Structures are given as structure tokens and as C-alpha cells.
């Protein structure tokens, strides 16, 4: 069977189109898919790397803070107790406290938080100012965590105050 020139051209064109489709389907398309997958993998690896750098920075900050806490604790006397310290400050400030409730909570690493809740009743603004000045000592790791100040209903011009004082100690 002899094919006419037109039929030969048609068959050659069809074979070329089929060959091009097969070439695209089995060589070119997988190449671009693989390249796209690699690009996405690189982008994910870069974002993971940036996240790790942020975590590393935070970790180094925690390490530095921990060393600062250790150094401050070394400066402080071994016999230091927050409750006793607050009692002494109350006497020096001529403040009478209604109650003091000490508690400790689990801390981070080798440190734990020691908290004392203090209630002061019928005190003046000057007494409160002096007491706060005496007790808050960041160099000694003594901080006021929470404070509530209300006017005393029975004695105008006086205040009722509740505060939580925090320090760190070795666990």
C-alpha cells in the first residue's frame, strides 16, 4: 500500500505530535515537577533555619538571664528568707501588716519562685511609699509581682494594700 504525499505528511505530523506529547509527559513535566518540589523543600528548609535561629537566640537569652540570677543569688546571703526580709522592712517603715502568706512555686531550671502575699491595712501613702522603696530590690532579685491598693472605708485618707512579693532561690 502506497501512501500519498499528503497522507505521509499527516502521519509524520501525527508521529511528531505524539512524540512531543510523550517527551513532555515523561521528560519535561517530571523535570519541572522535581524542580518545583526542590524549590519548595529549600524554602521550607530556609524557614526552619530562621525559626531555629530565633529559638537559639531565645535560648541564649534564657542562659544569660539564668547566669544573672545565679550571680545575684551568690551576692545574697545564704540565710536570706523573703518572709523575714519583708517583716524587717515593715518594722523599719513603721507599717503593720495584717497577714503574710509565704508560698513557693516550681520554677525553671535550678531556681524556684518564692512568693509572699502581704496585706497592709490602714496605712498612709508615705508609709506605703517607704515600704515599697525598701522591699523592691531588682539587684537582690526581689520584685513586686502584683499590687492592689484601695482606700480604707473606715478611716478616710488611709489605704488598704495587698501585694505579692517575688524572689528567686535555688531549688
What does the pLDDT read at residue 125? 92
**125 and 98 in one domain?**
yes
| Number of domains the chain is built from | 2
**DSSP string across 49-97:** HHHHHHHHHHHHHHHHHHHHHHHHHHHS-TT--HHHHHHHHHHHTT--E
> Where is the domain boundary, 75, 92, 126?
75
What does the pLDDT read at residue 137? 82
pLDDT digits (tens, 9 = 90+) for 10-33: 899 999 999 999 888 888 888 889
**68 and 38 in one domain?**
yes
> Where is the domain boundary, 75, 93, 125?
75
Task: List the chain pLDDT tens, one digit each, 171 residues.
Answer: 687 888 888 899 999 999 999 888 888 888 889 899 999 999 999 999 999 999 999 988 888 877 777 877 878 877 788 899 999 999 998 898 899 999 988 766 677 888 999 999 999 999 999 999 999 888 788 999 999 999 999 988 899 999 999 988 877
- With residue 2 as reference, give the H or E element that holds it: none
**96 and 44 in one domain?**
no
**60 and 117 in one domain?**
no
**64 and 84 in one domain?**
no
pTM metric for this prediction: 0.61
**112 and 138 in one domain?**
yes
**121 and 71 in one domain?**
no
What does the pLDDT read at residue 136? 87
Strand-strand pairing, 97-105 and 111-123: antiparallel
Pick the closest to residue 137 from 67, 89, 74, 66 (CA basis). 89
**68 and 1 in one domain?**
yes
Domain extent, residue 14, equals 1-75
Amino acid at each position: 500500500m502506497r501512501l500519498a504525499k499528503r497522507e505521509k505528511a499527516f502521519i509524520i505530523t501525527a508521529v511528531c505530535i505524539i512524540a512531543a506529547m510523550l517527551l513532555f509527559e515523561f521528560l519535561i513535566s517530571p523535570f519541572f515537577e522535581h524542580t518545583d518540589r526542590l524549590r519548595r523543600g529549600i524554602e521550607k528548609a530556609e524557614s526552619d533555619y530562621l525559626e531555629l535561629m530565633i529559638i537559639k537566640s531565645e535560648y541564649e537569652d534564657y542562659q544569660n538571664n539564668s547566669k544573672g540570677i545565679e550571680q545575684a543569688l551568690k551576692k545574697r546571703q545564704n540565710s536570706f528568707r523573703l518572709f523575714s526580709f519583708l517583716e524587717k522592712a515593715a518594722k523599719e517603715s513603721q507599717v503593720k501588716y495584717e497577714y503574710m502568706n509565704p508560698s513557693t512555686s516550681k520554677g525553671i531550671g535550678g531556681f524556684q519562685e518564692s512568693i509572699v502575699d502581704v496585706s497592709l491595712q490602714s496605712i498612709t501613702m508615705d508609709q506605703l511609699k517607704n515600704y515599697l522603696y525598701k522591699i523592691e530590690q531588682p539587684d537582690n532579685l526581689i520584685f513586686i509581682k502584683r499590687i492592689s491598693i484601695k482606700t480604707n472605708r473606715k478611716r478616710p485618707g488611709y489605704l488598704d494594700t495587698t501585694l505579692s512579693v517575688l524572689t528567686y532561690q535555688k531549688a
